[in-house]
Structure 1
């Protein structure tokens, strides 16, 4: 009886292997041969699951974004205002081994996206979605009296997003300078400065 192969499981295993290689060597440094070895398949077997290297790289990027979105959804249940905003930021920031690996993947893929409009579009869509959600949380915080009405929402959210992107770069290049304790302290300092006194 032939062995039943779960196509989605195989694709997921290949993407997980791709993320490890991209984190270690960058998107440009990941060869199909290395990926096949890392995933435990013969070199030609990858073509059964992906059209080519670009699709694998793009799927790895989509996987990181989807994982972040799932964590945000789970962490934000029952929260509103600054609580929801902080919970969301803690899922984007590279605070754990998993999210540090993801930050290395994202950093490598940003370089790839600089010359690939399709990849750039995926990144821009994620940033736009997260920015919109942060705006909503901050507006809720203002409506609930946690934050003063005069706080400029657009500016504060832009500052917060740039802080998180900067932390992803720092965690990827110099993890010792971006411990989870330091990141949480910086995040709390930023958010705390908005609170009504």
Structure 2
């Protein structure tokens, strides 16, 4: 009897293996070989799902976008700060996700496929901010997006603690919402 394989779940497992490699060793260490070792697969089996490193990285980034979106949609829809916290590195899981997302900023400069994923991420984040501002004010949405990204970068760089970033987020939202 042939073994039934859930290809969607297998791809997800491989994407999560990419996350672990990035979290532990950095994005520069992601390769077909390192991800295969991390996942316990052979390089040949992994190539059945992803032919190139770029495909593997793009999928891992898209998987982060999907995971964060699912978390936001499952949470409270009226608490703006709770929604935005899901996108910021305020705990270990989100720190890994945000590290992956910002890794794509640099990678996208030299690779059009990865640049597409980065644009998707930025567009989704801007759309979320536009939806969360109290008016149809694009300028306020851009500021909110810049604030969330800026606070996230400062946490990743060690210039702010997660608690300090959260305090700044809440202070800005208090100003925004009056």
| 2:106 maps to 1:111 | yes
Tell me, yes or no, if the aligned pair for 2:104 and 2:118 is still in contact at 8 Å: no
Q: How many residues align?
A: 178
Tell me, yes or no, if the aligned pair for 1:19 and 1:60 is still in contact at 8 Å: yes
Q: Which runs of 4+ in 1 moved over 4 A?
A: none
- Mean Cα deviation higher: 164-173 or 41-50: 164-173
Q: CA deviation at 1:162?
A: 1.4
Q: CA deviation at 1:15?
A: 0.9
Q: CA deviation at 1:156?
A: 2.5
Q: Gapped runs of 5+ residues in structure 2?
A: none
Report the equivalent of 1:128: 123
Structural mapping, 1:40-119, within 5 Å:
40-77=40-77, 79=78, 83=79, 85-119=80-114
- TM-score, length of structure 2 as denominator length: 0.87
Q: Which has the higher contact order (CA 8 A, sep 6+)?
A: 1
Tell me, yes or no, if the aligned pair for 1:22 and 1:108 is still in contact at 8 Å: no
Give the match's secondary structure for 1:92: coil
Tell me, yes or no, if the aligned pair for 2:32 and 2:47 is still in contact at 8 Å: no
Report the equivalent of 1:162: 146
Give the match's secondary structure for 1:178: coil
Q: Give the structure with higher Rg (CA).
A: 1
Tell me, yes or no, if the aligned pair for 1:94 and 1:103 is still in contact at 8 Å: yes
After superposition, the CA RMSD in angstroms is 2.1
| TM-superposition CA deviations, 1:133-185 (whole Å, max 9, x none) | 322332xx35xxxxxxxxx93333222211221233233332xx433321221
